[in-house]
Amino acid sequence: MLNNAIKRNNVNVFGKGPKVIVFAHGFGCDQNAWKFLIDSFTEDYTVVLFDYTGSGKSDHSQYKKEKYNRIEGYVSDLLDVCEALGLKGAVFVGHSVSSMIGLLAANQHPEYFSKLIFIGPSPRYLNTIDYTGGFEQKDLEGLFEFMDSNYLGWSAAMAPAIMGNEERPELAEFLTNSFCSTDPEIARDFARVTFFSDNRSDLSQSTVDSLTLQCSDDIIAPVSVGLYVNEHTPGNEFVQLKATGHCPHISEPQETIRAIKNYLKN
């Protein structure tokens, strides 16, 4: 089973540091999303990259809809990787939905992690009477109708909005290419898991210190959501980045690297 996780999730380990840092990609991406910042960590850390089952160069034959139609399926991927590598006290860096995947994994097995770093986290994307997640039900229904009818068109339209930084179209192109390389059916499943999960009650159960890196002008995870995570998660620190959009590790890797390293100095 352990070797299976290494192959299934296309695990790559490199670097020469005594500490381990695990980077987990968000929806529609794969481990290539971290290419702009990982070189800054290989001196001090052993870097672990992986693809969730169904993403990137993972073994797509092991994707089972009944397993991955809930966020817990992705949590099990992360825990399998940690177990396969024998990790203890690793630093976890998760982007977007991976923030909550990491939180849930650490709630189950806190011994695997020493620090959790959330980039653009959201415990719930849907608005409620007493909570602003950023999306109304009708917004998400329209999003999924668009995905179902024209996935490539959806990718081309959504990637620039998610990335922001419209004056740098090459960034949106990078994200569009990532979306377009993902199997459309798996992408739709992962999107539903992402946008319809509600992990607000899990925040208070965290026993591992964490950092919320909040982007500016983020249409996916607005500032109010980042502040909610900070307020409801024990031991969480909040840093507001100047970076705009939802993917600062792609658009502003140097600022993201500085924020992560400053936190890990403590």
Helix (H, G, I), strand (E, B) or coil at 39: helix
Q: At what angle do helices 97-108 and 184-196 cross, to 10 degrees?
A: 70
- Residue 12's Cβ-side half-sphere holds a number of Cα atoms within 13 Å equal to 18
Active site residue 232: no
Name the active-site residue from 55, 76, 96, 206.
96
Name the active-site residue from 77, 80, 202, 218.
218
Helix (H, G, I), strand (E, B) or coil at 175: helix
Name the active-site residue from 122, 246, 249, 251.
246
- In terms of Cβ atoms closer than 10 Å to its own Cβ (0-12, 13-18, 19+), residue 77 is buried
Lay out the sheet containing 113-119: strands in order across.
Answer: 12-15, 45-49, 19-24, 90-95, 113-119, 210-216, 236-244
Active site residue 96: yes
Residues labelled catalytic = 96, 218, 246
